Amino acid sequence: RKEVEQDPGPFNVPEGATVAFNCTYSNSASQSFFWYRQDCRKEPKLLMSVYSSGNEDGRFTAQLNRASQYISLLIRDSKLSDSATYLCVVRGYGQNFVFGPGTRLSVLP
Amino acid sequence: DAGITQSPRHKVTETGTPVTLRCHQTENHRYMYWYRQDPGHGLRLIHYSYGVKDTDKGEVSDGYSVSRSKTEDFLLTLESATSSQTSVYFCAIRDQDSTDTQYFGPGTRLTVL
């Protein structure tokens, strides 16, 4: 089993749709959790950190369920500019940041 | 903008030649990382540094070495490049003052023929 797994995608959604991404991790001792977005041929950029209480940033909501070892990202009212690959990142012990393979999102006009 | 630059941005080289990639940061972060990204894989850690002259191996360190003689520079060396090292290489820093977040450089596309 991979340490961090994500929905395989791709997701193709119309503008204005709500889309949810799921991520599971295997290391129960994981300490920090993040969502990054990566545009084609660009570097990953932090979208948001994920806190145990859940957190929201505008149209984006992240949730963490430590008992189920599950992280989610919800995007409401999708924009064309949201088209990207979304990476789930989990930090375990020390410098062990583990990246999921990513889920590609295409928002269609 | 975390002030991270990488050089070169693109490189084509031949099997068996040595290659050095440079990562430069302007904000005095202690932790620096080298990752590679390949289709079908997430980013995979090659080496990281936790201070000047302090480095350690990551998941895919075979065939790579690193050096950090100054806080701002972290070098990745392929001693004898192989075609399996064709990849996109990203450098990152960790902002310990901001929820441990990593910030990435723009990447280096390396092709080994």
For A57-75, the pLDDT digits (tens) are 999 999 999 999 999 999 9
pLDDT mean over B73-93: 97
Is residue B3 within 8 A of residue B106, CB to CB? The reply is no
pLDDT of A78-96, one tens digit each? 999 999 999 999 998 777 8
Chain B hits for A89, Cβ within 8 Å:
102
CA distance B43 to A93: 17
A102 touching B (Cβ < 8 Å): yes
pLDDT tens digits for range A33-57: 999 999 999 999 999 999 888 899 9
| Tens digits of residue pLDDT in B18-44 | 999 999 999 889 999 999 999 878 899
Nearest Cα to B89, choosing from B67, B113, B60? B60
Q: Is B103 in contact with A87 (Cβ distance < 8 A)?
A: no
- A4/B contact by beta carbon, under 8 A: yes
- Reported as a pLDDT band with limits 50, 70 and 90, residue B45 is very high
* CA B93/CA A102 separation, integer angstroms: 21
Q: What are phi and psi of A81, to 5 degrees?
A: -70, -10
Please, what's the b/e burial string for A61-87 (b: 16 or more CB within 10 A of its CB; e: otherwise)? Answer: bbbbeeeebebbbebeebeeebbbbbb
Q: Which of B102, B103, B108 to mutate to test the interface with A (most CBs of A within 10 A)?
A: B102
Show which residues on chain B lie within 8 Å of chain A, measured between beta carbons: 31, 33, 35, 40-45, 48, 50, 56, 58, 90, 94, 99-107
From the list A36, A55, A56, the residue with the least C-alpha distance to A46 is A36
> Looking at residue A1, what is its pLDDT?
66
| Model pLDDT, residue A17 | 97
Tell me phi and psi for residue B84, to 5 degrees. -70, -10
Comparing A27 with B14, the larger pLDDT belongs to B14
The candidate with the shortest Cα–Cα distance to B87, out of B32, B56, B44, B47, is B44
pLDDT above 90 for B98: no
Cβ within 8 Å, pair B104-A45? yes
Q: What is the pLDDT of residue A18?
A: 98
